[in-house]
Amino acid sequence: MHSDPNGACAQWTLKGLARGARDALPIVPPTLVFAMALGTVAAQKGVTVFELALMSGLVFGGAAQLASMEAWNPPLTLSLIVTLAMITAVVNMRLLLMTASFRPWLGGLPAWQSYPTLLLTTDASWLIAEKYRAEGGSDASILLGSGLLLWFVWVPATAAGHVIGAMIAEPQRFGLDQVMSIFFVAMLVPLWRGMRRAIPWAVAGAVALIVQKLVPGYWYMITGALAGSIAGGFIDESK
């Protein structure tokens, strides 16, 4: 179970830490843009800059944070707080698959080393680590180095985006209320793999629209996303 296809056991080195950070450098500009978009949206929603920085530091997930902003409409009642946690869970469910792929690599490390490192996993650092692994590397510091660099970019940049967003007096006029949707759609286009693979998306959209009509609140996001995911699980077998 824990045998590593690359042979060597995972280890930690300063060199690996530096390489991970360097490999993450090309991701910095898009991360800045994402952070700015999130910051401006959060400012409109009445999230304070301190709350946003805390959220960015702890959740450290752009898509989940941006999605949560769609539902973040004060007053934050208990049911809304639960909804926000559920939305985050659904959006971040993809991390299950990413960190599962780390098992053969990091499974041999003591838990106190592997689990804290996993908490810094993002889409970008996963990709960097997978690429490094495909090249035969086994240094766990790559994951930590890329995750740390992106964390130190993400947290202040979201706060900066908030400060700028809060200065804009008429957010609607500048289309800022649509930034969330437009940003997400820009992420969706590269995921296009033909009509057949888009069937789950259609299911997700249809279920979300129906649930939005029938159920108050933001459950439509969770039910729509899960319905699309379940459809995806069955689609390839109906061929």
Site residues for other proteins, 83-102, by CB under 8 A, read 84-86, 88-102
Work out whether 148 is an interface residue with other proteins (CB under 8 A): no
Work out whether 8 is an interface residue with other proteins (CB under 8 A): no
The amino acid that residue 196 corresponds to is R
Work out whether 173 is an interface residue with other proteins (CB under 8 A): yes
- Spacing of C-alpha 61 from chain mean position: 4
Q: In the range 25-64, which residues lie near other proteins by CB under 8 A? A: 30, 33, 37, 47-48, 50-51, 54-55, 58-61, 63-64
Per DSSP, the three-state class of 11 is: strand
Query: Looking at the DSSP assignment, which residues form a beta bridge with residue 139?
Result: 11
Work out whether 224 is an interface residue with other proteins (CB under 8 A): yes
Concatenated DSSP letters of 100-113: HTTHHHHTTS-HHH
Work out whether 227 is an interface residue with other proteins (CB under 8 A): yes
Comparison of 21 and 90: residue with beta carbon closer to other proteins: 90
Work out whether 12 is an interface residue with other proteins (CB under 8 A): no
Q: What is the dihedral of CA 52, 169, 183, 132, to 10 degrees?
A: -40
d(CA 23, CA 17): 10
Work out whether 214 is an interface residue with other proteins (CB under 8 A): no
Work out whether 151 is an interface residue with other proteins (CB under 8 A): no
